[in-house]
Amino acid sequence: MITLVTGASGYIGTHVVANLLSKGMEVRATVRDSSDPERVDHLKSLKVAQGGRLEIFEMDVLDGKAVESAVMGCYNIIHTAAVLTFGGRINDPEREVVNPSVIGTKNILNAIDKSGDVGCLVHTSSVAAVRPQKWKNGETFDESSWADDAKMKTDAYSLAKYSSEKLVRDWYDSRSDKEFRMITINPCVVLGPVLSKRHLNTSPSIVMMLVNNEIPFTIPVDISIVDVRDVAEAHVRSLTIGENSGRYLLASGNMGLGGIAKKIKIEYPEIKIPSIQLPYFISLLASIFNSKISFSWARKNLGKRLFWDSRSAENELGMNWITPNNSIVDTVKSILDNNWIDNY
pLDDT on residue 87: 46
The pLDDT of residue 340 is 93
In order, the DSSP letters of 204-230 are THHHHHHHTT--SSB-S-EEEEEEHHH
Helix, coil or strand: residue 301: helix
> CB-based contacts of 146: which residues, under 8 Å, 6+ apart?
129, 130, 132, 162, 166
Asked if 141 contacts 130 with a C-beta cutoff of 8 angstroms, the reply is yes
Distance CA 330, CA 209 (A): 15
Provide the pLDDT confidence category of residue 221 given band limits of 50, 70 and 90: confident
Q: What is the pLDDT of residue 343?
A: 62
What average pLDDT does range 87-99 have in this prediction? 71
Query: Which pLDDT band, with edges at 50, 70 and 90, does 288 fall under?
Result: low
pLDDT for 301-338, tens place per residue? 777 899 999 999 999 999 999 999 999 999 999 999 99
Q: Which amino acid is present at 160?
A: A
Query: With 0-12 CB in 10 A as exposed, 13-18 as middle and 19+ as buried, what is 116?
Result: exposed
Q: Average pLDDT of 56-65?
A: 96
**pLDDT at position 85, please?**
52
E strand segments, the chain: 2-6, 26-31, 53-58, 76-79, 120-124, 139-141, 181-187, 189-191, 222-227, 247-250, 253-256, 306-308
Q: Mean pLDDT score of the chain, rounded to an integer? A: 91
Cα dihedral sign, 12-188-90-202: negative
CA 262 to chain CA mean position, Å: 25
In angstroms, the CA 33 to CA 86 distance is 24
CB within 8 A of 77, min separation 6: which ones?
A: 3, 4, 6, 71, 108, 112, 118, 120, 121, 122
pLDDT per residue as tens digits for the range 161-178: 999 999 999 999 999 887
pLDDT tens-digit profile of 251-263? 999 999 999 999 9
Task: State the pLDDT confidence band at 216, using cuts at 50, 70 and 90.
Answer: confident
Measured between alpha carbons, how far is residue 259 from residues 118, 177, 222, 305 in Å?
Answer: 44, 48, 9, 14
Q: Which fold has domain 2-191+225-253+305-322?
A: Rossmann fold (3.40.50)
User: Is the per-residue pLDDT at 84 higher than 70?
Assistant: no
How many Cβ atoms are within 10 Å of 104's Cβ, its own excluded? 25
State the amino acid at position 321 in one-letter form. Answer: W
Look at 65 and 135; give whichever has higher pLDDT. 65
- What does the pLDDT average to over 87-102? 74
pLDDT of residue 284: 54
Residue 5 pLDDT > 60: yes
